[in-house]
Amino acid sequence: MKFLEQTSRFLFFTGKGGVGKTSIACATAMQLAASGQRVLLVSTDPASNVGQVFGVSIGNHVTAIPAIPRLSALEIDPQAAAQAYRDRLVGPVRGVLPEAVVKGIEEQLSGACTTEIAAFDEFTSLLTDEALTLDYEHIIFDTAPTGHTIRLLQLPGAWSGFLDEGKGDASCLGPLAGLEKQHAQYSAAVAALADPVRTRLVLVARAQAASLREAARTHTELVAIGLSQQYLVINGLFPADEAGSDPLAAAICQREQAALVAIPAELRPMPTDYIALKPFNLVGLEALRQLLVASTPMAVAASQAQPKIAAPSLSALVDEIALDGHGLVMLMGKGGVGKTTMAAAVAVELAHRGLAVHLTTSDPAAHLTETLHGTLPHLTVSRIDPHKVTQQYRAHVLQSKGATLDAAGRALLEEDLLSPCTEEIAVFQAFSRVIREAGRQFVVMDTAPTGHTLLLLDATGAYHREVVRQMQGTGLHFTTPMQQLQDPKQTKVLLVTLAETTPVLEAATLQSDLRRAGIEPWAWIVNNSVAATKVTSPLLRQRARNELREIDAVVTNHAKRYAVVPLLREEPVGVERLLQLSQPLATQKEN
């Protein structure tokens, strides 16, 4: 493996949820320890399963892994770190500031940026305090801080007065108000990250167009702040020798190879490693030992029968949705789970039944919109340009909120307006203009804002509070977008996930965020399921078996209702293939 050659002291693995970075980090730690190196493995992943992987309870203290000499591990609990961080900041103002202001502060500090900065606050000492790490030759981090977080830490000064009521719509700078350590320590940490001799970053991706685009964005963002020592790992590559007699396996191979041929230009010069998809779950020492090797002796017996799955189809969900005759249907989920495709599939299925549907999306890949345009009666499609509406929103905030700031304050505001939350707010405002149509037809919305963003909009006195204030005492009936989203009779939220551990955990976290915003998810969709289609490949059959546990977790622990959608041989683009996704599982064609 190229990323293991002349390995640096600090090794960071980063990538979207579900790409396998935790497994690769664990396998790397084991391999370095086996070579005689003393290794500390540190996880800052909110959905960390390092302890589960090794079969040891770890927690927020350095723990030796008994079965692996010279290997210790530490799990920084980012949620606990974030809560302690919030308590330090909010505690002194309780009972001093008005309750509305305190609630606004708490919401400003409830998002992912606070969690990430608090976790960075925890492991900064591991980068800068030699006394704490003297016993280790390599420190491996599972989940690195994003370029946005590092840029925030590099900014000079403090965000004075940011948390005062009505000061701004920004979302990520509020957490900086709680940074109490000296600036020199953060400067030293950032310097360590940027030092190619001490630090190496490994971007983990899948051989999928969306995953590779995300890796390219991360690469560019990190290079811009001086973190140039980067390697790329393409994980879970389908073995070509499994594709011979299985049409689905052959299609997966062909799709992955096409994605690699079209790999973004930014990634082409990077040292790149390829790790084959394994038939087994990457839990336990023996499985991890096999991850970074070329061959896999733990092959699956070809005689194993494919597991059978009995689950509701997407058409069963649409049956219930259609009964209302109109309403808002929101598809939510983390990147890479296929929510854009699911939104299109729901819209096409409703229109196919003769119901009026408006499908709106902010997906940058507009080819889906172009494929659907004019191909089905009763269906209209619109696309919101995230870049355009975000630029307009930033300009408005800088003109209004930034007008009274000094140069340093304006620089902080400009940095915060580069956060993902800013785009979510801007896109939501554009979506709000479409939402009102749901009173007379179906509106299917893709790429919806997270629960944190919705709460942020409400807590800062955005649209909802202003409308309520203006309408009080008029005797007129009114409904704000937030109220419509909270009303299950008007809005149905569908969470999209994959039948894999990390995507299911991330969807569960999103569900908790939505509930905190007073929005109850209506159903879950498990997308791209191998268990829901027919396969002959021994590897795919074993993967199907692995899926059953995750689907059971969705049914048992999370979803009030659900559907399972099969992985198709062809990309689900166009009306015919989208309709195929809705077929009952028992009647699925060999696709």
pLDDT digits (tens, 9 = 90+) for 482-516: 777 888 888 999 999 999 887 888 889 889 888 88
The catalytic site residues sit at 18, 20-23, 45, 502
Residue 42 scores a pLDDT above 50? yes
Q: What percent of the chain has pLDDT over 70?
A: 75
Greater pLDDT, 179 or 4: 4
Residue in the structure block whose two tokens are 């403090």: 158
Q: Where are the beta strands (DSSP E) in 362-470?
A: 379-383, 442-445
Residue 530 scores a pLDDT above 80? yes
Whole-angstrom Cα distance, residue 413 to residue 74?
35
Residue 206 pLDDT grade (very low, low, confident, very high; cuts 50, 70, 90)? very high
Name the strand (E) or helix (H) holding 39. strand 39-43
- For 18-32, how does the pLDDT look when each residue is reduced to its tens digit (9 = 90+)? 788 888 999 999 999
Whole-angstrom Cα distance, residue 229 to residue 219?
10
**Most confident by average pLDDT, 128-132, 272-276, 378-382:** 272-276
Classify strands 523-529 and 491-498 as parallel, antiparallel or unpaired: parallel
Least confident of 65-79, 236-250, 294-308: 294-308
Residue 107 pLDDT grade (very low, low, confident, very high; cuts 50, 70, 90)? low
Least confident of 54-58, 284-288, 584-588: 584-588
Average pLDDT over residues 342-347: 93
The pLDDT of residue 202 is 93
Residue 352 pLDDT grade (very low, low, confident, very high; cuts 50, 70, 90)? very high
The pLDDT of residue 555 is 96
CB atoms within 10 A of CB 187: 13
Instruction: Give me the amino acid identity at 207.
Output: A
Whole-angstrom Cα distance, residue 301 to residue 10?
40
Across 530-566, b (16+ Cβ under 10 Å) vs e yields: bbbbbbebbbbbbbbbbbeebbebbbeebbeebbbbb
The pLDDT of residue 112 is 60
Residue 525 pLDDT grade (very low, low, confident, very high; cuts 50, 70, 90)? very high
The pLDDT of residue 390 is 86
Residue 313 scores a pLDDT above 50? yes
Residue 448 pLDDT grade (very low, low, confident, very high; cuts 50, 70, 90)? low
Half-sphere exposure of 60 (CA within 13 A, CB side): 10
**Most confident by average pLDDT, 24-28, 283-287, 426-430:** 24-28
Residue 14 pLDDT grade (very low, low, confident, very high; cuts 50, 70, 90)? confident
Residue 290 pLDDT grade (very low, low, confident, very high; cuts 50, 70, 90)? confident
Residue 587 scores a pLDDT above 60? no
The encoded tokens of residue 74 equal 């530490």
Residue 266 scores a pLDDT above 70? yes
pTM over 0.85: no
Residue 242 pLDDT grade (very low, low, confident, very high; cuts 50, 70, 90)? confident
- For 538-574, how does the pLDDT look when each residue is reduced to its tens digit (9 = 90+)? 899 988 998 999 999 999 999 999 999 999 888 887 8
Greater pLDDT, 446 or 363: 446
The pLDDT of residue 31 is 93
What are the sequence ranges of the domains in the chain? Answer: 2-291, 314-587
Residue 158 pLDDT grade (very low, low, confident, very high; cuts 50, 70, 90)? very low
For 458-466, the CB contacts below 8 A with 24+ separation are 458/107, 458/482, 458/517, 459/103, 459/104, 459/107, 459/108, 460/104, 460/107, 460/166, 460/168, 460/169, 461/165, 461/166, 462/169, 462/425, 463/429, 463/432
Average pLDDT over residues 513-525: 89
What is the CATH number that goes with domain 2-291? 3.40.50.300
- For 450-484, how does the pLDDT look when each residue is reduced to its tens digit (9 = 90+)? 655 565 555 444 444 544 554 455 555 545 677 77
- For 119-153, how does the pLDDT look when each residue is reduced to its tens digit (9 = 90+)? 667 767 777 777 777 889 999 988 755 554 555 44
Quick one: which of 425, 563, 431, 426 has its CA closest to 484?
Answer: 431
Residue 438 scores a pLDDT above 50? yes
Q: What percent of the chain has pLDDT over 90?
A: 29
The pLDDT of residue 49 is 67
Q: Chain-wide mean pLDDT for the chain?
A: 79
The pLDDT of residue 154 is 52
588 secondary structure, DSSP code: -
Least confident of 48-57, 351-360, 365-374: 365-374
CATH of the structural domain 314-587, one choice from 3.40.605.10, 3.40.640.10, 3.30.450.20, 3.40.50.300: 3.40.50.300
Domains 2-291 and 314-587 share a fold: yes
